[in-house]
């Protein structure tokens, strides 16, 4: 029969991975990503987004020392994180320009949201034209 991906990864890595990333917003994959982590210190980061379903796992997965972590805003806290992020960008330590796939006017905000919902952009910059 078919074995779960977490079992395959745990076998390949002699106990599980140190870090896993779930990037598609699928709650089944989120669970598999957590269960692929090594007991004791494995960290699974949720990058993909959904609000359609609940995510669930057996408590032993977390009790065993794995961590489930979110990634919104790159882990930055907005109040002190934004100035740090701006400085890192200005110092060329964080790449942002490379991820801009679309430039649109503010009036096209709904089109930009549709692009994002369908995975047809990475980041869109909305501009307000001077009146």
- Lowest mean pLDDT of 35-39, 66-70, 95-99, name the range: 95-99
Does 105 score more than 70 pLDDT? yes
For the chain, give the mean pLDDT.
Answer: 91
Please state the CATH superfamily assignment of the domain spanning residues 5-74 in this structure: NAD(P)-binding Rossmann-like Domain (3.40.50.720)
| Dist CA 96 CA 102 (whole Å) | 13
For the segment 85-101, the average pLDDT, to the nearest whole number, is 91
**Cβ pair 17, 42 in contact under 8 A:** yes
Res 6: pLDDT = 95
CA-nearest of 1, 52, 11, 70 to 35 is 11
The domains of the chain are located at: 5-74, 77-127
What CA–CA distance (Å, rounded) separates 38 from 130? 54
pLDDT digits (tens, 9 = 90+) for 20-51: 999 988 999 999 999 999 999 999 999 988 88
Q: What does pTM read for this prediction?
A: 0.64
pLDDT bucket at 78, cuts 50 / 70 / 90: confident
């Amino acid at each position: 029969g078919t074995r779960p991906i977490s079992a395959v990864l745990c076998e390949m890595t002699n106990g599980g991975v140190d870090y896993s990333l779930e990037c598609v917003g699928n709650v089944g994959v989120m669970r598999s990503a957590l269960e692929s982590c090594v007991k004791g210190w494995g960290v699974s980061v949720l990058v993909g987004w959904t609000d359609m379903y609940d995510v669930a796992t057996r408590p032993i997965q977390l009790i065993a020392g794995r961590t489930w972590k979110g990634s919104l805003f790159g882990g930055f806290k907005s109040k002190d994180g934004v100035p740090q992020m701006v400085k890192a960008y200005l110092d060329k330590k964080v790449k942002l320009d490379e991820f801009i796939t679309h430039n649109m006017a503010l009036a096209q905000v709904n089109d930009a949201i549709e692009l994002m919902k369908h995975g047809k952009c990475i980041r869109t910059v909305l501009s307000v034209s001077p009146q």
